[in-house]
């Protein structure tokens, strides 16, 4: 879900969670998106 720029400016970062299907399982990926920086 996109986060608006004002939220990132106000909070400095948001955590991102992504689930990728792998066969019959799921891989969980967790990252941090910070203001003016790419997602890590």
Q: How many domains does the chain have?
A: 1
Per-residue pLDDT tens over the stretch 1-40 = 778 788 888 888 888 899 999 899 999 999 888 887 777 6
As a whole number of angstroms, the distance between CA 11 and CA 3 comes to 11
Predicted confidence at residue 40, as pLDDT, reads 64
Assigned domain for 29 exists = yes
Cβ neighbors of 31 (< 8 A, separation 6 or more) are 15, 16, 18, 39, 40
Assigned domain for 25 exists = yes
Shortest CA distance to 18 belongs to which of 3, 32, 7, 4? Answer: 32
Q: How far is CA 40 from CA 16, 25, 33, in A?
A: 9, 23, 7
Assigned domain for 40 exists = no
> Domain range spanning residue 16?
5-34
Assigned domain for 11 exists = yes
Assigned domain for 17 exists = yes
The β-bridge partners of 25 are 22
């Amino acid at each position: 879900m996109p986060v608006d720029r004002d939220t990132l400016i106000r909070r400095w970062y948001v955590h991102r969670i992504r689930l990728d299907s792998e066969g019959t399982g799921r891989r969980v990926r967790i990252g941090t998106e910070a203001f003016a920086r790419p997602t890590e």
